[in-house]
Amino acid sequence: MKRSHFLKLIGLSIAAPVFGQTSTKKNSKTNTNRDKRADDITNYGALSDGKTDASSAIRACLKANSSAYIPMTTHGFIAGDIVVNQSKIHGNGTLIRKNKSSYTLLTKGSNCEVNGIVFKSQGSKYTNGVSDIIIGESSKSIRIHNCKFESSHYCTISADKNSDSDLKLTYKSPVKSIVISKNIFSGKYSRALYLHSVEDLQIIDNIIKETLYDGIRLRQRIKKCIISKNLFNDIGIKKHQDSQDAIDTYWSGEELIISDNIIKNCSKNAIEVKGVSPDSTGATGKVVISGNEILNTAYSAIHISSGASKTTKVKDFVIANNIIKKAGTVGAKRGNAAIFIRHGVESLVISSNIISENNSRGIFLANLEKDQGAIKNVTISANNLVDNGNKDEGYAILSSGVENCIISANNIENKNGLQKVAIAITDQKGKSSKAVISSNIISSNHKETILYNKKNKNIKVVNNLIN
């Protein structure tokens, strides 16, 4: 081979890799541009500088893509009054509700999704009547998940009303098929969730903590609702001692399931179900409260009633398989009990609960509303009731003026000496008790094991084991 041909071959072999490297660099640059999401709001001029309003950029992005991607940045994006109409807001970045906005996002239409966003507000001043997300009228199939709510205003998610007044609703019909899951609510809100007019509602697998008042507040026109596998902690500020429940309902709906939640440290009740709507048009029915762990509430762990001055009863309740400890830390005030059935309840089963170390009473059927008919058709069975009481008062089960009550197969033990009475049945004026007390196992060191009016022929006590 001639020397000149050999040098040409060497030159070609060297040139090829050089050409290849140049091509790779160009492709790398092209791929970087291609990898940037089409629905990234920064493509539409959104700036994350802590001062520029990104609302217009987000609206333009939604209009072009039916979705908006919020990227993670140092300062987040200031925005407000964004309508999400059959669209998706997603990402791992932060939306900061701008001052004077009534909301950050408002859902509209069907199949809206909010996923992975951190919600904050400008400044730290509490803002009344404001939400991070409003579920708008006629919304359907809405999913809000994997978000963090860290603002300081009235509530994170609302539907229909968003104020202390529940009497007037504005939606012509309920919104439907709402899923709120895997979120963390940790801002200084009055209520994390405040919902009216919702059908087919799931609130599942969330963390709700450090609210000023309620964790979840449900009001009228709520139907088919599941509240499950949530963690509640430090609910309410202690100085108010009102409207500070982990779950507070006041509705005229049907089919409510509250199950498998962990609830700790409430400034009032853990679960309160007040069953008749403000206009008395309907009452709650078909309610299951099951599998919850409840620890350390100022008042009752579970509180059920028809509501003040209501003549319509709530009915068809099952309270089962719950673990309740250290309820009623303020003592016997306001009729406290681990499970407090205040008045206006018909058809109730309380079964297989572990109720221990609660201050004053374990289970209390009270009949406190004089205008309401007697609590009726109640079964209390297979519960473990241990050490419920304080130095002044202690009852495992106290039933007052209940019509048709079965108390059977419960295990009742007094180890610390504070649970002075195992079972007590009392009459009320105009409400004479009818009860069967049977097959309970009761430790003998109670001051009174079974206390009732022996002149009342409608009370039967049989086959109890006292040892």
Report how far residue 71's alpha carbon sits from residue 94's, in angstroms, rounded to the nearest whole number: 8
Average pLDDT, the chain: 88
Quote the percentage of the chain above a pLDDT of 90.
67
Do 80 and 109 meet the contact criterion of CB atoms below 8 Å apart? no
Asked which of 4-8, 198-202, 420-424 is least confident by mean pLDDT, the reply is 4-8
Average pLDDT over residues 418-446: 91
Spatial CA neighbour of 453 closest among 420, 426, 417, 429:
426
189 or 11, which is more confident?
Answer: 189
Which H or E run includes 373?
none
Place 38 in a pLDDT band, splitting at 50, 70 and 90. very high
For residue 113, the number of C-alpha atoms closer than 13 Å in the C-beta half-sphere is: 12
Predicted confidence at residue 254, as pLDDT, reads 78
Is residue 6 classed as helix, strand or coil in its secondary structure?
Answer: helix
Q: Indicate if the pLDDT at residue 356 is higher than 50.
A: yes
Do 402 and 432 meet the contact criterion of CB atoms below 8 Å apart? no
19 or 151, which is more confident?
Answer: 151
Predicted confidence at residue 188, as pLDDT, reads 82
- The tens digit of pLDDT for each residue in 119-136 reads 999 876 667 778 999 999
Q: Indicate if the pLDDT at residue 16 is higher than 60.
A: no
Q: Indicate if the pLDDT at residue 342 is higher than 70.
A: yes
Predicted confidence at residue 36, as pLDDT, reads 74
**Amino acid present at 70:** I
15 or 385, which is more confident?
Answer: 385
Structure tokens at 87: 């669209």
Report how far residue 110's alpha carbon sits from residue 131's, in angstroms, rounded to the nearest whole number: 20
- The tens digit of pLDDT for each residue in 148-162 reads 999 888 899 999 975
- The tens digit of pLDDT for each residue in 248-282 reads 988 767 789 999 999 999 999 999 998 877 667 67
Average pLDDT over residues 402-428: 95
Report how far residue 225's alpha carbon sits from residue 209's, in angstroms, rounded to the nearest whole number: 21
**Amino acid present at 297:** T
- The tens digit of pLDDT for each residue in 87-100 reads 999 999 999 999 88
Do 334 and 366 meet the contact criterion of CB atoms below 8 Å apart? no
Q: Indicate if the pLDDT at residue 431 is higher than 60.
A: yes
Q: Indicate if the pLDDT at residue 373 is higher than 90.
A: no
Which positions ≥6 away from 172 have C-beta within 8 Å?
137
DSSP letters, 194-242, are EE-SEEEEEEES-EEE--SS-SEEE-SSEEEEEEES-EEEEES-TTT-S
Predicted confidence at residue 165, as pLDDT, reads 62
Predicted confidence at residue 164, as pLDDT, reads 56
Spatial CA neighbour of 311 closest among 372, 257, 252:
372
Is residue 399 classed as helix, strand or coil in its secondary structure?
Answer: strand
DSSP-derived pairing of the beta strands 118-121 and 148-149: parallel
Residues in the chain: 467
Q: Indicate if the pLDDT at residue 454 is higher than 80.
A: yes
Average pLDDT over residues 16-39: 47
Distance of CA 461 to the CA centre of its chain: 40
4 or 327, which is more confident?
Answer: 327
Do 37 and 69 meet the contact criterion of CB atoms below 8 Å apart? yes
Structure tokens at 186: 């940790």
Predicted confidence at residue 239, as pLDDT, reads 63
Residue whose tokens read 């009740």? 269
Report how far residue 112's alpha carbon sits from residue 117's, in angstroms, rounded to the nearest whole number: 14
Place 18 in a pLDDT band, splitting at 50, 70 and 90. very low
Is this structure's pTM higher than 0.85?
Answer: yes
Mean pLDDT is highest, among 12-21, 235-244, 454-463, for 454-463
Distance of CA 391 to the CA centre of its chain: 34
Predicted confidence at residue 148, as pLDDT, reads 98
Predicted confidence at residue 173, as pLDDT, reads 85
